[in-house]
Amino acid sequence: MKLQQLFFVLLMLLIIGCGKREHQMLPKDTQVALGRLIDSGDPSYDGCGWLIDIEGDVFSVDHLEEEFKQNGLQVKVYYQNTKYHYLCGRGAKPYSVIKIVKVEKR
Q: Pairing state of beta strands 93-105 and 57-61? A: parallel
20 is a domain residue: no
CATH number, domain with residue 48: 2.40.50.500
Domain of 66? 28-105
Gap between the Cα atoms of 34 and 30, Å rounded: 14
Q: Model confidence at 47, in pLDDT bands (50, 70, 90)? A: confident
Q: Model confidence at 79, in pLDDT bands (50, 70, 90)? A: very high
Global pTM reads: 0.74
12 is a domain residue: no
9 is a domain residue: no
12 vs 52, higher pLDDT: 52
Q: Is the dihedral of CA 4, 6, 7, 13 positive or negative?
A: positive
